[in-house]
Amino acid sequence: MAITGASSGMGKAIAIELAEKGAKVVLGARRTERLQELVEEIKNKGGEATFMTIDVKNKADLVQLVNKAVEQYGKLDVIVNNAGISQLSRIDDQDIEGWEEMIDINLKGVLYGMAAAISVFRQQQAGHIINIISTAGLKISPMMGVYAGTKNAIRTISEAFRQESDGKIRITGISPGFVKTDFAGNIKNEEMRAVIQEDMDQMALDPIAIANAVMYAVSQPDDVEVGEIVIRPSKQN
């Protein structure tokens, strides 16, 4: 299993939980030191893990990540496209730099991951793509327009691929609501950062909940495809 954005938050939880269930995980992210620490943690618990420092904005990095999985473990069963970023602001604030960053990571980064995995999955005649999306695209809110747009683009792309696939390559979209991560820390807009952090402090889910959703999707029989899972705190509107 290859996981992007694996050094913290949901990616880290997915890596730990699935490794405990027997998955051999290949972790990708930009923060090398955190990846090293996570690999050691998994190995100390009896799991199998390795890592590669990657930036999902570089399509060659995703190819190297999936190839490392094949070289290390003989095949790749699952890719989890988890890496994402948020820059929340009004559209008329014209944070074009923020828009481009979200498009590069949330949209193009996922497409690069899908493309790299599909090349391997075609040869294997099997594989499973997990795209981490967001509830932001299901409920459109001010200040989240471009962020939600990138997430809805992946929702559309995932559904299109599901219909195009002959079933040998499965695809699942998982849309989390508020989850306890460092999501708010990357937001430049101070007002939005404070609002999001308050909501997260009050009701956010443990990221293990998302790891459990991934486990559910990938553990289904070969003839069962879980199209989309929406998982949010029960208090979240």
The residues that are catalytic are 147
Q: Which residues contact 64 (CB under 8 A, 6 or more apart)?
A: 52, 54
Distance of CA 216 to the CA centre of its chain: 15
Which two structure tokens, joined as six digits, stand for 111? Answer: 């497409």
Residue 106: CB atoms within 10 A of its CB come to 25
Angle among Cα 9, 114, 55 to the nearest 5 degrees reads: 50
**CA distance linking residue 68 with residue 221, whole number of Å:** 26
Residue 217: CB atoms within 10 A of its CB come to 23
